[in-house]
A and B are shown apart, each in its own frame.
Chain A
Amino acid sequence: MSRINVNVGKVNLKSPLILASGTCNFGHELSEYYDLSILGGLSSKGLTCKPRVGNEGVRVAECASGMLNSVGLQNPGVDYFIEHDLDYMNSLGTGVIVNAAGHSFDDYIEIVSKLNKYKDKIDALEINLSCPNVKAGCMSVGSDPQQVAEIVALMRKETDLPLWIKLTPNVTDIKSIALAAQNSGADAVVLINTLLGMAIDIKTRRPILHNNTGGYSGPAVKPVALRMVSECSQVLDIPIIGCGGISTYEDVLEFMIAGSSAVEIGTASLIHPTCPVTITNELEKYCDENDLDLKDLTGTLKLW
């Protein structure tokens, strides 16, 4: 057994590294660069019931140690995905995580029940209660513990697939949201989605993003993500998948020590597409040199 093998509840992953939704599409493009079967999993582009063309105009702004995006959940819709991309994702030899989003409770229920019909091809559903770039659903649901509790309970009735709930950091108390998800039957939480931010063009005095605001990702958000993983780790019984600015193997170790069972790599793939290869090799080397199994690091943080 590989020393970097991890478990997220019942889901066994050959590595803690999962490609984050929205930074790997469905795997086609990155598979031109490396063999994705080295990964623990790949989380699909966020899917909605109907296709979405996404936001208009400029969708990206570079910021200090990171970037803002306002793609706005552009995706081909769940039906197209099932027909064209699900089997492909299955052929990659890595964990198949399907990310789903909605504009209403009904949307979430519809998409989960649809995907549940293909449960033999899916390892986990990652539910996006956190996208900051759409007007309804997502972050507006995910920032209210009561609504999180309700929507997770409703989805729980639709499927016995592992439900991973991806949460937004744009809240006052992340613990209460994570607990609401857990207590309604979530199998894991994914922490964190992007931080809501803005960039301004001083010449035009307008936001660079035509959506005005966007989601901040990259190494700049890592300390925020680590803090939230650590906080939630102290109160949750379900596993945490850590996410936010991971670009080196040391980042992975930090997230696992803070309480993550697995991690997601997002923005780093946009800059160095093959960075997961390097990180995988270095994690294996670390385990050998320190004679430990990576999963034993989870939650070993000793707070002052």
Chain B
Amino acid sequence: MQEYKCTITEISKLNADTVYITISCPEIAKAAVPGQFVNISADKFLKRPFGIASADTEKGTFCIGVKVVGKGTQEISSFKQGKAVDVLGPLGNGFNVDGYDDLVLVAGGTGVFPINFAKEYYGARGKKITVVQGFRTQDQIIMSDKDSIVSTDDGSFGIHGNCCDALKTLDWNSFSKPVIMTVGPLPMMKFTGLLARELNVPCYVSMEQRMACGIGICLVCVCKIKAEAEGREFDHKRCCKDGPVFPYEEVIW
């Protein structure tokens, strides 16, 4: 593993507060799998983590989506083409799709980015993909195509409701060895997992917490993971190194 000096090759606006950034780094483009993230210098003190949204091994580039939520993301979203950035990655553990045929990918918020990578990557490797996306309103819709099943909270586009309402419209009997993989706000992933339990479908979630190093040495980005087998109620596992992907049933919500 190493830290790369990279260049931003393209940056475009997706909506009022979100940009899509393409970064040149053949090593990361080649090594990345869906669910992994990169940690990027932000001209602030700490780097900032972003789920990988796409990777092009031929061009040697990968993409991230950046929604402005604070000073670091504000800084990064104002970067221009040609800007040099320090990048650590790919970091963390991706999804494990072994043994599953039908992948139901559920995205909310900035979860649309890692879910996009999962769609591209596993789609190209013969998995059957269903993408479900939840947005607040129609003007928030990003990273969506004609095959995406979209819900909006206000009903301005697609299914009126949230991701779970959209998931309920799927014909689950038509799927072969299905699995749900979800990335988004905690409440969304929690209720997606509950529905998955009702449907008796395995579910994986991508946990998020304020992060510093991204490589497992500082122990600040922890989440509670059940540890009954070890005789404890839970362990504080590192989102960056032990995750970010965990089985829904192992997370204490």
- Please report which residues of chain B, range 207-231, place their CB below 8 angstroms from some CB of chain A when the two chains form the complex: 209-213, 215-222
Contact A33 to B2, CB < 8 A, known contacts A22-B218, A54-B222: yes
Query: Does B236 have its Cβ within 8 Å of any Cβ on chain A?
Result: yes
A273 touches B3 (CB 8 A): yes
Cβ of A63: which chain B residues have Cβ within 8 Å of it?
A: 45
Q: Mark A169-203, 1 if CB is under 8 A from B, else 0.
A: 00000000000000000000000000000000000
Cβ of B2: which chain A residues have Cβ within 8 Å of it?
A: 33, 274
Query: Does B67 have its Cβ within 8 Å of any Cβ on chain A?
Result: no
Alpha-carbon distance between A65 and B221 when the two chains are bound, in angstroms: 20
Chain A to chain B contacts (Cβ below 8 Å), 25 pairs: A23-B217, A29-B241, A30-B215, A32-B1, A53-B235, A54-B222, A58-B209, A59-B219, A59-B221, A60-B220, A63-B45, A67-B46, A69-B220, A71-B218, A71-B219, A71-B220, A74-B219, A74-B236, A269-B213, A270-B217, A270-B218, A271-B213, A273-B3, A273-B213, A274-B3
B241 touches A54 (CB 8 A): no
Query: Does B164 have its Cβ within 8 Å of any Cβ on chain A?
Result: no
**Chain A interface (Cβ < 8 Å from any Cβ of B):** 22-25, 29-30, 32-33, 45, 53-54, 58-67, 69, 71, 74, 218, 269-274
Query: Does B13 have its Cβ within 8 Å of any Cβ on chain A?
Result: no
B212 touches A270 (CB 8 A): yes
Q: Mark B225-248, 1 if CB is under 8 A from A, else 0.
A: 000000010111000010000000
Minimum CB–CB distance from B78 to chain A (whole Å) comes to: 18
Alpha-carbon distance between A244 and B219 when the two chains are bound, in angstroms: 19
B236 touches A53 (CB 8 A): yes
Alpha-carbon distance between A274 and B138 when the two chains are bound, in angstroms: 45
B217 touches A271 (CB 8 A): no
Cβ of A67: which chain B residues have Cβ within 8 Å of it?
A: 45-46, 212
Cβ of B72: which chain A residues have Cβ within 8 Å of it?
A: 62
Q: Pick the contact of A25: B209, B216, B232 (CB < 8 A).
A: B216
Query: In the complex, what residue of chain A is closest to B41 when comparing beta carbons?
Result: A271
Alpha-carbon distance between A63 and B2 when the two chains are bound, in angstroms: 26
- Please report which residues of chain B, range 168-226, place their CB below 8 angstroms from some CB of chain A when the two chains form the complex: 209-213, 215-222
Known: A62-B72, A218-B45. 9 other contacts (CB 8 A): A32-B1, A32-B215, A45-B219, A59-B222, A60-B46, A60-B221, A62-B45, A270-B212, A270-B218
A269 touches B236 (CB 8 A): no
Alpha-carbon distance between A53 and B237 when the two chains are bound, in angstroms: 9
B45 touches A65 (CB 8 A): yes
Cβ of A29: which chain B residues have Cβ within 8 Å of it?
A: 215-217, 241
A270 touches B46 (CB 8 A): yes
Query: Does B66 have its Cβ within 8 Å of any Cβ on chain A?
Result: no
Measured as residues with beta carbon below 8 angstroms from the partner, the interface class of chain B is 20 to 34
Q: What does DSSP make chain A's interface, helix, strand, loop or mixed?
A: loop
Cβ of A59: which chain B residues have Cβ within 8 Å of it?
A: 210, 219-222
Contact A66 to B45, CB < 8 A, known contacts A32-B1, A54-B219, A54-B236: yes
Contact A23 to B236, CB < 8 A, known contacts A65-B45, A271-B46, A274-B2: no
Cβ of A60: which chain B residues have Cβ within 8 Å of it?
A: 46, 210-212, 218, 220-221
Cβ of B220: which chain A residues have Cβ within 8 Å of it?
A: 59-60, 69, 71
Cβ of A25: which chain B residues have Cβ within 8 Å of it?
A: 216-217, 219
Alpha-carbon distance between A45 and B216 when the two chains are bound, in angstroms: 12
Cβ of B218: which chain A residues have Cβ within 8 Å of it?
A: 22-23, 60, 69, 71, 270
Query: Does B88 have its Cβ within 8 Å of any Cβ on chain A?
Result: yes
B222 touches A272 (CB 8 A): no
Query: In the complex, what residue of chain B is closest to A208 when comparing beta carbons?
Result: B210
Q: Pick the contact of A273: B44, B210, B215, B235 (CB < 8 A).
A: B215
Contact A58 to B210, CB < 8 A, known contacts A218-B45, A271-B46: yes
Alpha-carbon distance between A66 and B44 when the two chains are bound, in angstroms: 10
Alpha-carbon distance between A35 and B3 when the two chains are bound, in angstroms: 15
Cβ of B45: which chain A residues have Cβ within 8 Å of it?
A: 62-67, 218, 271
Contact A272 to B86, CB < 8 A, known contacts A29-B241, A62-B44: yes
Query: In the complex, what residue of chain A is closest to B86 when comparing beta carbons?
Result: A272
Minimum CB–CB distance from B20 to chain A (whole Å) comes to: 24
